[in-house]
Structure 1
Amino acid sequence: MVQQFWQQEEIPNAPPTLTSDEQICENTYATGHSRTPEGRYIVRLPTSSRTMDLSDTQRAAERSLNYTFKRFRHNKGLEQHYDEFMSTYEAMKHMEVAERPKPTSNVCYLPHHGVWRESSTTTPLRVVFNGSCLTHQGISLNHFLLKGENLLPALSDVLLRWRTHRFVIAADIEKMYRPILVHLDDRDLQRILWKTEQDQDPREYRLNTVTYGLACAPFLAIRTIRQPAHDEQANFPLGASTLQRDIYIDDILTGADNQTQLLSLQKELREICMVGGFPLKKWMSNNSTLLAHIPESDRLVKGNISWSPTEETHSTLGLQWSQLSDTFLFTVRPTTTKANTKRSILLQAAQLFDPLGWLTLVTTRAKITIQLTRLINAKWDDPLPQHILQDWREFHSQWTTSVSPD
């Protein structure tokens, strides 16, 4: 786990060749995707087998639903947000009431539950659909789904390219998965159970769009967002180029050397994404005039951007960025929990997310301390020797609350 934690900061090697399953997944997408008359994409779920018995997942879905309704009795806020989420899901046609499945069809029921964060000021509820739910035979839908190639570019590459531009913009793809439709023949693999106050018994629904929680969902989402770069390149060459290399998951970060070029790029980017059904929200820029023609509801910061005694920053690919001064800042939250084990030291060190190496002098010392705990074969939750703890506490006390790289 420590090795994987450090590898995210390493310069990536040349991309590996596709495995056989990854190639099958790509072929399934290339030959199986289509578009609606409105331009939205329809994709197939890439599976290793077209025959699977997952009907037993209905029992798990029933248990999960019963547990969720028990939580509602003790948390009315959870109940309200959950009901609003499901109502919106159905109103937007992201799910629909399902007919009884045919005896010959593959059917899978996805248990779902709510992750409740009452402290959140935006979205306190996140509904999670579980494609890894096991049947009594020890199999799940995710066992049959092909994950596909990892299409994420190196984070350092995206950030470095972004910083080569004099004028920059950033935007998010709204609800990245849900604009993508799943083929009708595959929707029975995405059945769920739900009921409202008017329902005596749970009703069966089918999810119509790519669903977070399935093993293939990240591949399908990123692959589909890139597809307009091929389909619409002749109409939007600037926007197509951006979609091919200046995007990380649902974040788009790009720019130009002058405002005229950037305005043209921004216009094409909005249009090519809308053609595929992907609206862009939370626009940011280091030049306020570039946002003048963006509706206020689509900007990250509402109203006019003005200087304030406390500089406001926004999360950009895990880093804090100020669009006013066009600088990055590192913020370490103070903690009252004392680190006395290898696990707690690693948790504190993980706050120093530094993909471009700006804080190498600091992160290197943190890594040396973690290495020391491994050299003495310390267990994750065993108390560490006093000399290691003392050194770490002195080091940790020197962290400032805000650090701005030169």
Structure 2
Amino acid sequence: MFSFESIGLPPDEKFSTLNEEKVKQFRDSITYKDGLYHVQLQWYEDKLKSVPSNYNAAIQVLEKVNKDLEKKNLYNQYLQVFQQQEDEGIIEEIIEQFKDYIWIPHRPVLKLRDQTTTKVRPVFNCSYKHKGSVLLNEAAYPGVNLMSNMLKLMIRFRTNRYVLLAGIRKAFLMIRLALEKDHNRFCFFLKKGEKLHCYRYNPLIFGFNASTFILNYVLKFHAEKFPLDECSEALKSSFYVDNLVKTTNNAENLSDLYTSVREHLQKVNFNLQSCNSNCVTLQKKMEADGTLSGFYSGWKKVLGY
């Protein structure tokens, strides 16, 4: 029997009938296949019919983005990100059927890495709006807020002696879309030389308003597959989006928890990365596993702070 309590929400929280129906439909759609979770997106069907294909806008944005990248000598690096995603099966090339699909404009976000090199990653604008049209994000059911309370996580962080920090590598991209029609709502263009190429995403993308809800729900759903213990509780209540924050006064227990969480998540291709701890023994274990954060300055941000 579905209940909001089963996914860690307080029993006195009030939710509408619509939320109950949509969340139950989403839960019933979750399947496990080829080592990954697959989901069906929930939509407001009346609004979805009014979302335009946006192919002209997507092409115009692409032209501006490419010119800017070429000026900064980052064009090839941007293409390499998508090439890696294609090699990993995250995106796939499709036939040009502009009016049949929904096209998402994208642009690069640049981040200085190691003070010398620039890391480029694409961000997709699912809230693109043109001439009073309905946004893709407006047509999507965004879900309910399942994120752990940031204040509680930060207070816990300052309370106990030892801390475990970790992130999930490409968390959103590890959740696949089950339906063909959902795939066709996350299409985009790339230009290689003078030729225009058409692609679509197989998993969730960052920028889609339901992605955070879906990731948090899938983590809680996955936790239910295991006996109720400290590990399953951490999966349910110690993640903020894709970041794990766990503290304790027992270094040995924290090390065991890290191992258990890592093994549980690996079963569905959620791989831990950027891990860190103020426990030296645990740091050495992370280093041996290849999960230890590669950047160290003496200070480590926690949930962006």
Q: TM-score, normalised by structure 1?
A: 0.65
Q: For 1:243, which of 235, 239, 243 is the aligned residue?
A: 235
Q: Which residue matches 1:43?
A: 39
Aligned pairs for 1:233-272 (under 5 A) are 233-234=226-227, 237-272=229-264
Asked whether the 8 Å contact 2:166–2:276 carries over to 1, the reply is yes
Q: Determine the C-alpha separation between the residues in 2 that align with 1:172 and 1:196.
A: 33
Give 2:293's match in structure 1, choosing from 300, 321, 326.
300
Q: Distance in 2 between matches of 1:123 and 1:18?
A: 44
Contact 2:50 2:133 in 1 (8 A): no
Q: Which residue of 1 aligns with 2:268?
A: 276
Does 2:71 correspond to 1:74? yes
Shift in Å, 1:318: 3.0
Q: Which residue does the alignment assign to 2:4? A: none
Instruction: Classify the secondary structure of the residue corresponding to 1:127.
Output: strand
Cα distance in 2 for residues equivalent to 1:46 and 1:138: 20
Partner residue of 1:189 out of 176, 185, 190: 185
**Contact 1:61 1:193 (C-alpha < 8 Å) held by counterparts:** yes
Aligned-residue sequence identity (percent) comes to: 21
Unpaired stretches in structure 2, ≥5 consecutive residues: 1-9
Match for residue 213 of structure 1?
Answer: 207
Q: 1:19 aligns with which of 10, 16, 34?
A: 16
Partners of 1:81 and 1:102 in 2: how far apart? 26
Distance in 2 separating the partners of 1:23 and 1:81 = 44
Give the corresponding residue for 1:387: none
Q: Which has the larger radius of gyration?
A: 1
Which residue pairs with 1:336 in the alignment? Answer: none
Deviation at 1:283, TM superposition (A): 1.6
CA drift of 1:63 comes to 0.7
1:130 aligns with 2:125: yes
SS of the equivalent of 1:253 reads strand
Q: Which residue of 2 aligns with 1:403?
A: none
Shift of 1:135: 4.3
Q: Contact 1:94/1:209 (CA < 8 Å) preserved in 2?
A: yes
Higher strand share: 2
Measure how far apart 1:256 and its partner are. 3.6
Gaps of 5+ in 1: 1-12, 306-310, 320-406
Equivalent of residue 170 in structure 1, options 165, 169, 184: 165
Aligned residues: 292
Instruction: Give the C-alpha shift of residue 24 in structure 1.
Output: 3.7
- 1: CA distance between counterparts of 2:294 and 2:63? 40
The aligned residue for residue 230 of structure 1 is 224
TM-score w.r.t. the length of structure 2 is 0.85
Checking the alignment, whether the CA contact within 8 Å between 1:158 and 1:245 is kept in structure 2 is no
DSSP 3-state at the match of 1:281: strand
Whether the 8 Å CA contact 2:50–2:134 is kept in 1: the answer is no
Equivalences for 1:110-129 in 2 at 5 Å? 110-117=104-111, 121=115, 124-129=119-124
Distance 2:129 2:251 in 1: 54
Residues 43-64 of structure 1 deviation map (CA, whole Å, 9 limit, x = unaligned): 1121111752544311111111
Secondary structure, aligned partner of 1:240: helix
Q: 2:90 pairs with 74, 78, 94, which one?
A: 94
Amino acid corresponding to residue 203 of structure 1 in structure 2: H
Task: Look up the equivalent residue of 1:179 and give its one-letter code.
Answer: M
CA-based RMSD of the aligned residues comes to: 2.7
Q: Distance in 2 between matches of 1:35 and 1:17?
A: 30
Partner of 1:384 in structure 2?
none
Name the SS of the counterpart of 1:169 in structure 2: strand
Residue equivalent to 1:156: 151
Q: Name which of structure 1's ranges 120-129 and 209-218 shifts more when overlaid on structure 2.
A: 120-129
Distance 1:42 1:135 in 2: 31
CA-to-aligned-CA distance 1:163-201 (integer Å, 9 cap, x gap): 44443211111122111111232100001111223xx43
List structure 1 segments (4+ residues) > 6 angstroms apart after TM superposition: none
| Structure 1 letter corresponding to 2:244 | I
CA distance in 2: counterparts of 1:215 and 1:239, whole angstroms: 28
Give the match's secondary structure for 2:142: coil
